[in-house]
Structure formats: structure tokens, C-alpha cells
Structure 1
């Protein structure tokens, strides 16, 4: 097996999972875009120091960049996914100020693009999402009617989980728990969709 081509394919896949361009990754590891392109095509192989730097930036074990020998059972690799807390006003969603912690998550089944966790607070989405659940969010600015989204309430800088319903020029944020009222998004009470809920984990 061509080790350079194998590593290049893994680097490309992980880069795309993070929603980064080759230029983005190049800046993060301190090389030119052409170098990343050569790594991904397998025409150039990263040296040992660069392999460790790439693994660190891509948040995987360096072993992920090497093929598994025949007869060896592979260990599922994981990524550190950020858990968002209070959203600092004016900051990018994944700014350090907004991140409470990181959770190691197996890469199998993770969606592509930028992802993060949001911790459910309260019981407005019960029984679908219990209080304290970690909900995996794929960052995107719009969702379809009826889908659960992470929504930033701009008045309070609070991120909430609600079903989104579009009604004429109004957006309703619908709880699954009927004891709670919908939140109406208006010009004076603004909100912004951060992303779509794609997966949930619950500690027992």
C-alpha cells in the first residue's frame, strides 16, 4: 500500500469533515496550500513533525494517518467535539469564549461540516430531549420545518433547542413539551439558527 496516498486520503477526508478548505488547513499547520494539495494527492509525504502537527490540528491520533496492518483489529478513532456554553456577543460560534469543554466522540457516523455539542437545559423538549442531554449540532444557517435546531436568542445570548416552524414571515420555535409556549421570533425579538440537531447522547 502507498503510505503517502493513504495518509493523503485520510487528511483530505478529515479536512472536509471539518468544513475546511486546503487553504484553511494550510494556515493552521503553517504551510502553503500547494503543500496540503500535494499531501492529499500523495505526491508528497509529510515528515514526522508535520504528521503530528496535522493529527493535532485535525484532532485525531497520529495513528489514524497510517493504515492498519493485516490481522490487527483497528481501534475506533475519535475527535474532540466542543461543547458550547453561553455565546459571547459578537464572537464566532466556536470562539474559545463560547466553549465549556471538549468531548471525545468516535468518528464513525459523524456528519461532515462544522459540528459541536449543545447541552440541553430544562425540560421544554421532553420527552424527545431530556434535561442534561448532549445534542450534536451540525452548523448551518437554515433548517426545514419540523426539524430541531440550536437557536441563538440574541437578546439573552442563550442557545436553545427547539423545533422550527415557518409561518408567513414569522418563525416559531416550538417546544415538544406542551406545558411550554412557543417562542415567536420577530423584529424586536430576534433569533439566529446555529445549526441542525443530528444526534443525542444521554448519560444514565
Structure 2
């Protein structure tokens, strides 16, 4: 196919996609309908000025019109046109989304295997149940666990999780770090002891009544008895 025939084909195709008649395209380009007809039949070839105007109108590169190739520049032009229609806030949201997609694409085929110097052995104070409860008292012996760096320096306890009631956020055998607080609020993830058993749960406080909530809906929540209460060891922060 000659260059002239390719240009004819592309002008007709792009015009049709926009839903314009030859007369409507001619009005937008400030040329006669006959000129558009001549371009589409191949009798004449549009000059560079007309090609540039059609490039802007169709939202494609000039190369798309002359060569029939959908290039990256077409997407750049279309994206630029759309971005101009968005508010500054929405432009920023589109930009952040694009950055995340780029990061995912860059790392999707990469598997990072931990190296020996990426891990550290620490002492865990015990086990927190993400299930039916783990016995924890003064006789519970600490044990050594291996965790990935970096390890926070300001934690009061390190506990290993046993169970699945806090999935998908907290996984079985994961190590969590706990910090003591003076006050505890609704919605915090806490390490708590009740009836001699240690739990990892979300604290829910409604009308003065506390509940230890499981993030996994397949596991029940635990109502805190007002008389016996619950001993909160601290807030999970890592």
C-alpha cells in the first residue's frame, strides 16, 4: 500500500471513529468538504498543517495518520488531553496510581530471597493466639525466633502468632512487636491476656463494653467480662 493510500485509509477510519461526517471534519479543519473527500479517495494528500490539525483533533500522532501505526505517542497525546480535564487533586491521584502500576510491573517477575544478613535472632516473650487462646503466665519461657530486618528498637514485647483468626493482616507464625501504652482505644490491635490465655485481637469498645475482635470472619469474637476484665499487654505496632 502506498503512503497516499495509507493516509486516505487512516483519515477515513479515524473520522468514522469520531462519528463525524466529511462536512463536519471539514468545518473543524476550516477546509472544504471536497478537500476531505479528495484526501479520503487518495486524489490529493493533505499538507503538513492539515495533518497537524487532524492529529490534534483525533488525539493521535501524525505518524499514525501517515503510517497507520498506533505508537506510544498516541497514548501520550490522549493521556495529556484527559489530564487537562481533571482537577489538580485528580491529576495527582492518577499520577500516584501510575507510579504504583510501574512499581508493580518492575517487580512482578522478581523474587527476592532473604540473605543471611537480612535476618536477626531475637527473643520472643511467648505466643499470642490468633485462634482459641494460648496459655501465658509468669512460668512461660521466652524462646528465640528469627525475624527479618529492620527490627524496631523501642518495643516492649515480641510475640509469635499462633493461628489464623487475624488473617489476612497477620499470618500464622508471624512475629509482632508490642508497645506498652497508658491508654487503649477502640480499633487498636492489641496483645491481651484474659482467663490466663494470651490473644492477638482488635479492640472494640462500644458503650463501655469491650470485645476482642477477630479480623478473619470465620473466627468468633470474644466478649470481655466486665467483672474479670482483660489485661492489655500493649499495642501491636509492627
Coarse TM-score class (shorter-chain normalised): 0.3 to 0.5
| The structure with more radius of gyration | 2
Question: TM-score, length-normalised on structure 2?
Answer: 0.41
- Which gives a bigger RCO, structure 1 or 2 (Cα 8 Å, sep 6+)? 1
Larger proportion of helix: 2
